[in-house]
Amino acid sequence: MSCKNIFSVDCSTISCPSGALGAADVMTQDCSSDIKRSEVNSLVLFHPTLGTDPTSNWPTPAAVDFSIDNADTTDADQKQFFGRGSLGEPEAVTTVINDFREFTLTKEYTLTFTIFDIGGDTYDYMRKLECGAVVPLLLFTTVGGEMYGNSGGICPKSIQPSLILDEGNDAIKRWQLVIKWEAQTAPDAVTNPL
């Protein structure tokens, strides 16, 4: 599946070189009231063709827009996985254009996510993801109370799960997912409705 993720800031609508960038939040040096905790704490995955798209009311999704049922075998409902993760700095694909200006063609975002609570069904679900034949669409949430994605969900270019079995007294069985997608901007952020 090939897709282009375009979030609410569409770079094609900004004209060069005089396009307005618009407003930014008012900031003061001594008071930072808009700081949010950033650790990714859940993934919401849904099948690209069989699944119900929970983002039809984006950018104001509500809990009633979601039908999360990890036990659903038809993939009509979304699956939500809790764990720990991060979204690192994207890798930019750039080219040099006139006057030696560097232009960003796209960015590749990489989200890593670790799931610790693994039953038999989750184990098999992750192994099916390893096959790579179906790549679900996704949204993700943070401990700071935000949900990231867009209408239609983020379309990844790959989801690579790996079973990790460490050694030692503190070793915990876990699945680590490496999820990659391309976009020109970071995903849209909304208040987490779940």
What's the pLDDT tens digit per position in 156-181?
A: 999 999 999 999 998 999 999 999 99
Long-range contacts of 58-63 (CB under 8 A, 24+ apart): 58/149, 58/150, 58/151, 58/188, 58/190, 59/8, 59/151, 59/188, 59/190, 60/190, 61/147, 61/190, 61/193, 62/193, 63/193, 63/194
Can you give the pTM of this predicted structure? 0.84
Q: Is residue 113 part of a domain?
A: yes
Q: Is residue 26 part of a domain?
A: no
Whole domain around residue 61: which residue ranges? 36-191
Q: What is the pLDDT of residues 86-119, one digit of tens each?
A: 999 999 988 888 888 888 888 999 999 999 988 9
Question: Looking at the 3D structure of the chain, how many domains does it have?
Answer: 1
11 is a domain residue: no
Does some domain include residue 120? yes
pLDDT at 144: 94
100 in any annotated domain:
yes
In a domain, 149, yes or no: yes
8 found inside a domain: no
